[in-house]
Structure 1
């Protein structure tokens, strides 16, 4: 994997580049927004670590510009502790994830691996472990076996896979799958998640779709 690290803290940038290199990847660093944006257009990149506060051009604007140009490389934003508005702005601009400073190098690398796994491949398919979903064909497979999913079940699985490793709230499922046709008091969401879990997990002896009481659901990323 080849990564780009953009942060005006030169020591931190160099440390991250060195860590990624020692972990078996290749990486390069930039220290301001304009040079970071130019380097981010490299089609060989597998991921970008991008600080929000950059001289010349902020990280959120860099991300927004890339997405506007059709550059779909995964982006992790680095934000200050408590800077919730920055995180929201970054995610709205097209970032895939964020990490609060200070952070552990191991967590950064794990998040880079995670966002790489949940991005569509060149065919448009999503893959998380041995789960594969093809949005165009409306088909899904686990370990090479095709899953028999209803339209709603397919939509639920798609949202979970697009957010693999992250919590998906019942409200998010309501918005993205039901488009407001039901409400949070209905058990339709829980019923459909249960059906998806039966077909995706229990039928294969797996436990990858977990329920987080009071928060929602999460598709665990298992290598």
Structure 2
């Protein structure tokens, strides 16, 4: 059984309780509108691994003129997403059941924001290819935004998360940097250092098209600007 099949089976069980439980460890998601507004007013948003559509519903409210697209492997999660988004976004949202790939979209459909929220750390060997192909789906001035797990000093916690198909791998950040021109990186601690998570913002252009707003986070000492 490959990683995609494992994740599909996992979320068949998790879909009914997902939104009730993930608040306890998928940190940063509620701040996504704030972080996005600091750098862009997107008109076309894609979320890779959209799950139950919780992020898309939040972004639909924050950006009422934006069209939104969600891609996910799990039919069970997308069924929840349809319910969550019916009222929040209406006809402004489309959901696709498929592994993400640039072949899903035509060039004229490219996005000005692509979001990966706690999805890349579950992709296994497909992770780097996803990061690369995201470049081909971005407009020249578009942004690639990643919110995900970074590292943990505790082997027992790393092993527990692997049972739940999450891979703590600092190389994930390096892969983002290698494929997307960095604009900003912030690292945050969870539960007094049980693990760290990060926010990465990058651009497909060779030279950053944006001046990053350093005042939009409450704790600037936690921010490392690498543009």
Q: Relative to total residues, which structure has the larger strand share, 1 or 2?
A: 2
Shared fold per TM-score greater than 0.5: no
Which structure is richer in relative contact order (CA contacts within 8 A, separation 6 or more)?
2
TM-score range, shorter chain: 0.3 to 0.5
TM-score by length of 1: 0.39
